[in-house]
Amino acid sequence: MDDLMKDDCCAPKGDFDLAVIGAGSAGFSAAITAAEGGKRVALIGHGTIGGTCVNVGCVPSKTMIRAAEALHGAQTAHRFPGLNSEAQVADWSALIAAKDDLVATLRQKKYADLLPGYGGVTYLDEGPARLVLGGVEVGGRRITAPKVIVATGGRPAVPDIPGIQDAPTLDSTSLLELDRLPESLIFLGGGYIGVELAQMMAWMGTRVTIVCRSRLLPRTEPEVSRALTETLRAEGVAVVDGATYDAARRDGARAVLTVTVDGADRDLTADRLVLTTGRAANTEGLGLAEMGVETDARGAIRVGDDMQTTKAGIFAAGDVTDRDQFVYMAAYGAKLASRNAVLGGAERYDNAAMPWVVFTDPQVAGVGLTEAQARAAGHDVKTSVLTLDNVPRALAARDTRGLIKLVADRATDRLLGGVIMAPEGADSVQTLAMALKFGMTTKALGETIFPYLTTVEGLKLAAQTFDKDVAKLSCCAG
């Protein structure tokens, strides 16, 4: 990190306009926003520069998932008559090394190399930081700043299961650092991290079991959860849902998880347990309570819509907060925090049209309210569910796994939300996000021109399904 603008004899010793704790995506977004506005910023390191996304989250996991997709594509080529192909992992260590090289390259180019271009930002990496009156204490001295933004991120949480500390376990970080491909894994948790990594490892050749307390992707539509469960089971992944975690233990070099399902106890055994049951906020040692900064039950910092904490002058953004745990929302929230803190802004956090993606296959992507959320909000709800066997793109690809569900207000016909489960759902959901952002009705979406033989055309068909049977339409006739 010699090329960073670190603290030295010539760096200012105080009188910053803003101190930002944490140098991940949220921290960089906050610091750059303030610096572009002419403010002097102390960017205080917290962990590896670049934070979760580039180092241990989005970047490494998605490149590994893409590699697994290449394997799976070859293995399933036989769905087209006349094709036959095989593929397997030939050198796991080479795959891991390539992932590490990509991470190091992006960390340097998208984080470390950016700092010298912002003269208003001084990077300080002198150990843990602590909030104090008038600024931040770091490295044994006080950094004076009237406004502070906490952006220290999060980490994988360890579930409260008797014996879990003694069992051989991995988390989402250490899984992607293994020096050999394991024969078997048990994933605890059916959220987006768990299902993404579980399917990836199954495609790589590992025997995989997913255990979850309720259902897969419990926050999305139940139709999607059922369809994803069926898909994974068809691929050989064991899904144990509706389970209670009773205990974990080590048995020689292997792990044993005891669960209760439908009133019966079961012992599940694998090389390792992979803990994907959620994330914990990095708030230890910051002195939050002493400064009057409140946290929620999982230790995340409570912020208002202006990104300010319960202590005036102290803001927070990213995974350390009680807001959306996505890297793009971390950067967005940090930009708002910076503008509101030191640039005279009065902006409010708005996630009404926030798209989200789960990188399974089929991908699951959504935006807006689910049916249950819309009903809870008081809407008179109507829904449309279109299976992919009604979408020409899926028929041409000989892959009709998935569905599209739209949620709308019955009285106004305005779209409230939707979810797309399709192989190209991630690249289709933004169209639905734009429709929600600009208040489109289902009628307007159904009358919009879409290109034929695309996945996104399924949105048009799903919108038309509210009041007609699209199976009776000829191609392109809608």
Instruction: Please state the residue numbers annotated as binding site.
Output: 62, 189-196, 278, 319
Give the residue numbers of the binding site for NAD(+). 189-196, 278
Distance CA 259, CA 219 (A): 22
Q: DSSP states of 419-445 as a string?
A: EEEETTGGGTHHHHHHHHHTT-BHHHH
**Burial state string for 448-458 with b = 16 or more CB within 10 A and e = fewer than 16:** eebeeebbbbb
Helix (H) or strand (E) holding 348: none
**Per the structure block, which two tokens stand in for 380?**
């008179």
**CA-to-CA distance for 89 and 271, rounded, in angstroms?**
19
Both tokens of 313, joined, read 């002058």
Annotated binding site for FAD: 62, 319
42 by Cβ neighbours in 10 Å (0-12 / 13-18 / 19+) ranks as: buried
Give the Cα separation of 223 and 228 in Å (integer): 9
Residue with tokens 């079961």: 266
Closest CA to 398 of 62, 8, 82, 41: 82
CA angle 54/349/313 to nearest 5° reads: 90
Q: 156: number of CA atoms within 13 Å, CB side? A: 20
Answer yes or no: are the C-beta atoms of 22 and 51 closer than 8 Å.
yes
For 260, the 3-state DSSP assignment is strand
* Single-letter amino acid code for the residue at 347: E
